[in-house]
Amino acid sequence: MCFSFFPIAASLLLAFCRWDIISGLKGIEWAGIGNFKSLIGFSYVVSLGKTTLAPNDPLFWKYLYNTVCLMSAIPVGMAGSLLLAVLLNKQFPLRNLFRTIYFLPTMCVPVALFLLWRWIFNNQYGLLNWVLSLAGLHGPDWLGTVAWAKPSIMLAGLWMGIGGGGMMLYLAGLQGIPRELYEAADIDGAHAWQRFWHITWPLLSPTTFFIFITSVIGGFQGGFEAAYMMTGGGPAGSTTTMAYYIYQNAFTWFQMGLAATLSWILFIIVMVVTLLSWRFGGRRVFYF
Amino acid sequence: MMTEIESAGASKGMPEGPERPAGWKSTRSALLTASAFLAAFALAALMIAPFFWLASTAVKAPSEVFRMPPALIPSEWMWGNFIKVWTTFHFSRYYLNSIIVTVCVVAGQVVTSAMAAYAFARLEFPGRDKLFLCYLATLMVPGAVTMIPLFIIMKFMGMIWTGNFYLFGKYFMGAPLGLNSYFALIIPGCFSAYGTFLLRQFFMGIPKELEESVKIDGGGHRTIFSRIILPLSGPGITTLAIFTMLGSWRDFIWPLIMVNQDEMRTLPIGLSSFQGIYFSDWPLLMAAALLIMAPLVVIFFFAQRFFVEGIKLQGIKG
């Protein structure tokens, strides 16, 4: 208890303070909502004789955008997991072995896997660019260019997560669908896509909803290890996520107050998004 | 077995379309099986390719890495890479640290979660359900929120307790408190609202009638807990232990901020510092990565069943 309640209260208090930890306990100053203002606030800036409304911290918005951008891989990953699960739900030899192989990356240590992917993405000697060159393509500098850094991280993330918990949950869900429904559809002459769209998809909707919510919550807080191991948040801050920004504030620049504020802003965002998707997504979920 | 018989009966009972020739169905299903197998095989090849690359790089000579086209199978097998990783720097020490931290966190979390879960499931005390709700609410707070105050606590704990008064004693497992201590690496990981929740759900599912006989014999909560609840919740405890172990072995950010001395690093932190030193010595880096993941993969192959069940258990919760 004391390791969760007390820190939460302390963090809330800290969010309203200005404190660089180097100056010790004496350095804490009450900042009111100053931290919030300097992070998410806008103010009028006069430049070249024109008055414009500009964000106080453009980096915050940029990193928030990065985080959301990286989360766009979530639906792709879920579709992939569903595809794998549908495939594994069929009868064919060595099915369990394949399941184990798909699940393997989920089991491993993310830090080590990101290191591996940094090597795969290596501009000159990496596996990916070599494979592309076999097809006559000249691969880009994956992690070194602003345009390709985010897709690269998404690709590595997809590989790590596609055969993981989502696939397992979908597989369990598929096995729970009564066989009679498919037989009835067969008699009615439904083809494969109709069977999937009118039986499988609606009956899996609770699973889909669960995976989506947990992935979104995780997605907002994610991206730290990828940024730390592969790109250092670069190039030009294009892979810095909220989690990495919090880390930078707290442990690179020692701005504990700002970091606490950031973590609370992140919490509020996560809460709001979760509640919204609960409200609007929950209606589409079909329970049987 | 059951389903095979059922499906055989079902297909027998179904009228065949008049335009379909005899044997069409079996050819079609054989074709489907073959194509499913091929698709699964192709995907598996894609999934395993990075691992192949990892293993092949790990046993290459440093010079062979920078060659185009790359040698998929090294011309010379450098098993020495592993020994080099193990002996240079403190890789064996990192391993020891990781093992100590993981074992302690698993033990601590299982014990505290089981005890708290028992309290929430079986004891009657005022405000119990409200307290449990508060517990659950902490699950929603991101780790980043508590990370910073915990860091501050650990930092100043080291400063204060190494002064004149000691609350927990000056040392914990041979190392001083505060940053760079086993205390800082282990203790915050020993409490888990999630574990409490998981085990509470499990305990609630155990019928209360079983406990009546213990009560009649005059046994108290301690007997019920150790003789009835614990033996009956083996799968729940195994699941919690496995997921805690997994989380602790691969935990990165907490040890990263807690530790700045080389001899206190755990494996993931060791690897990231390795990366800083051997920036482009890819065989050594890959060999290190392989060594870190090896224990998890071995455990996974032996305890796969528990992983699968554990994930389903998590899903049911939602």
Predicted local distance difference test score (pLDDT) of residue A75: 93
Average confidence (pLDDT) over B130-144: 78
Task: Assess whether pLDDT exceeds 80 at residue A187.
Answer: yes
**A64 inside domain:** no
Surface-to-core class of residue A50, CB atoms within 10 Å of its CB (0-12 exposed, 13-18 middle, 19+ buried): exposed
Which one has a higher pLDDT value, B287 or B135?
A: B287
Same domain, residue pair A30 and A151: no
Say if residue A40 is in the same domain as residue A170. Answer: no
> pLDDT-based confidence at A286, cuts 50/70/90?
low
Q: For B171-193, how does the pLDDT look when each residue is reduced to its tens digit (9 = 90+)?
A: 555 556 667 778 888 888 888 88
**Cα(B111)–Cα(B240) distance, integer angstroms:** 11
- Categorize the per-residue pLDDT at B2 as very low, low, confident or very high, splitting at 50, 70 and 90: very low
Q: Is A279 domain-assigned?
A: no
- Most confident of the following: B29-43, B175-189, B203-217, B224-238: B29-43
- B217 burial level (CB within 10 Å; 0-12, 13-18, 19+): exposed
Question: Among residues of chain A, what percentage have pLDDT more than 70?
Answer: 91
Asked whether residue A47 falls in the same domain as residue A81, the answer is no
Query: Looking at residues A32-39, what average pLDDT do you find?
Result: 74
Q: Residue A50: beta bridge partners?
A: A47
Same structural domain, A9 and A77: no
B65 contacts in chain A (CB < 8 Å): 125
Q: Residue A51: give the domain boundaries.
A: 5-56
Q: Which uninterrupted H or E stretch holds A29? A: strand A29-30
Select the more confidently predicted residue: A276 or B7. A276
Token output for B274:
């390795």
| A176 and A203 co-located in one domain | yes
Q: Is the domain of A213 the same as that of A134?
A: yes
Amino acid (one-letter) located at B240: L
Separation of alpha carbons A92 and B38, rounded Å:
10
Count A/B contacts: CB-CB distance under 8 Å: 220
Q: For A43, list phi and psi in degrees, rounded to 5.
A: -145, 160
Alpha-helical runs (H) found in chain B: 2-13, 24-58, 62-65, 80-87, 91-122, 128-140, 143-161, 182-186, 193-204, 209-216, 221-223, 230-232, 234-250, 253-258, 267-277, 282-302, 304-317
Tokens 């079909």 — which residue? A286
The pLDDT > 90 percentage for chain B reads 11
The single-letter code of the amino acid at B32 is L
B39 touches chain A (CB under 8 A): yes
Q: Two tokens at B232?
A: 């009956």
Between CA A33 and CA A17 the distance in angstroms is 8
Of B37, B246, B315, the CB nearest to A92: B37
Task: Give me the pLDDT at residue A24, please.
Answer: 61
Residue B167: its pLDDT value, please?
Answer: 44
- Split into its structural domains, chain A has a count of 2
Poorest-pLDDT segment among A30-44, A209-223, B89-103, B231-245:
A30-44
Do residues A102 and A175 both lie within one domain? yes
DSSP calls for B64-113: HHS-SSPPSS-SS--THHHHHHHHSTTHHHHHHHHHHHHHHHHHHHHHHH
pLDDT at B6: 39
* The pLDDT of residue A192: 83
pLDDT category at B10 given cuts 50, 70, 90 is very low
Q: List the structure tokens of B12.
A: 């027998």
C-alpha distances out from residue B46 to A88, A162, A167, B278, Å: 16, 12, 16, 28
B95 touches chain A (CB under 8 A): no
Please report whether residue A254 resides in a domain: no
Measured between beta carbons, which residues in chain A are less than 8 angstroms from residue B33? 90-92
Question: Which of A11, A35, A268 to mutate against chain B (most B CBs within 10 Å)?
Answer: A11
Q: Chain A: nearest CA to B220, how far in angstroms?
A: 25
The CATH number of the domain holding residue A215 is 1.10.3720.10
pLDDT band at B98 (very low <50, low <70, confident <90, very high): very high
Across A115-119, A280-284, B100-104, least confident range:
A280-284
CB A7 to CB B142 under 8 A? no
Average pLDDT, chain A: 84
> Given this model, what pLDDT does residue A20 score?
67
CA dihedral A228→B251→A163→A214, nearest 10 degrees, is -90
Burial class of residue B233, CB neighbours in 10 A (0-12, 13-18, 19+): buried
Domain residue spans of chain B = 90-277
Shared domain for A137 and A198, answered yes or no, is yes
Q: Which CATH class is domain B90-277?
A: mainly alpha
How far is it, in rounded angstroms, from Cα A86 to Cα B88? 47
Gap from A45 CA to chain B (nearest CA, Å): 32
Winning range, highest mean pLDDT, from A2-6, B19-23, B137-141, B233-237? B233-237
Asked whether residue A233 falls in the same domain as residue A105, the answer is yes
